[in-house]
Structure 1
Amino acid sequence: MMGKEEEIARIARRLDKMVTKKSAEGAMDLLRELKAMPVTLHLLQSTRVGMSVNALRKQSSDEEVIALAKSLIKSWKKLLDASDAKARERRRGGPPPTSSEGSEAKDASRKRPELPRMLSAPRMTTFPPVPVTCDAVRNKCREMLTAALQTDNDHVAISADCERLSAQIEEYILCAGL
């Protein structure tokens, strides 16, 4: 019995062959197999099956194939969005304060006098590493976007992570055709 990752990778390879041969014969069966499988974000990223499904969707003229491919991509995109939301929550420092903690914080802030805020040198914020792709074209696009974002020093003034921003821009451009 094959593991999930091998099975999904096998389906992705078969979908890629269909795209190459411009034949969608048997695509519905493969897409239904994918729909029935519990797919994690890790499996999506390691097998790149989303790219294969999207390529098939773009090439196919069969409305059923297109609809099922779109449905799969949307459900997988929700996994990615949920993962991004969790990452943002971790960066913020955990869940929002409970009602009792929030009221204590408000009371404490009322007791302290308001101090004038001084403008200090901007601090550079550290971000988690940018997700790496195995696609040379995508990496080159990210590299060019990063270079374009760094042409002036505005990114330093606002503590922007140009590599992360370029990865997000590239990802959006790649997925915008959905």
Structure 2
Amino acid sequence: MGCEEEVLKIKKKLDKMTASDGDQTQALDILKTLQGLPINFQVLSKTRIGMTVNALRKASTDEEVISTAKQLIKNWKKFVPDKKDDDKESKEEKKKDKDEKKEGRSSNNNGSSSSSGGSSRPLSFPSSAPPTTDSVRLKCREMISNALKMSEIPDGVVDTPESLAEKIEEAIYQEFHNTDAAYKNRLRSRVYNLKDSKNPQLRENVLRGVIAPKKMAVMTSEEMASNEMKALREKFTKEGIDDHQLAIAQGTKTDLLKCGKCGQRNCTYNQMQTRSSDEPMTTFVLCNHCGNRWKFC
């Protein structure tokens, strides 16, 4: 007798047991017989034995019968194809197609609007940086991203802070090809300047695309400085040049003058007319040994 025929015979017996006032004294033995049969999906679909066993489970008050029936049903479910997964994949594919069509329409609309309105805002973000699993590089990317998000994100950004941080870090890594001290120092200077509350313009320029990630990766401290700091540095530089020119430009070396600070007679002096023309010139002296400067009339 084949397995399918044996299952059909058992099914008839179980159907009688699940009927009202049915005798279930042999239910456990029959279920154990089912456990020993080589039942497959084809047998399950043709005989529908699973529905019968489930009906017995609901009708029985014997805990052992209920437990054995549950185990049988659990084992048989493994043979049944998972329709939920198929339905889920089908829904995801439909949703993806729908989103792509929607994005296509949106891009067309944006393109038309951009052409008519003359907007310079990009329709899509630039390509992202290659991913990495290096813990040091990931931490550095996070630090730059947090620096870019120090305060409210301005209007007109060209990319997300996370993506911009990845591109800046990638550009620095491509220069050094490792995460040594030079790489880390370069990263720290980017983070420090981006977090500078007195220089918000730098952060906004990066977010708005005025400063590209590759440019940000190689900028010097002077280039990243705020306009106020640049003006101050320029002022100091000019004052320093002027001060040196007074002491050195066209100066004359002499050993006749003695430095009051170090006592050496290695000096350079320069004379300039700083008062009215009928008064003597002022002599500026520089000690070439210790750098001490003084003047006398």
TM-score by length of 1: 0.46
Return the structure number with greater relative CO, CA threshold 8 A, min gap 6: 1
**Structure 1 or 2: more helix by fraction:** 1
Larger-Rg structure: 2
TM-score by length of 2: 0.28
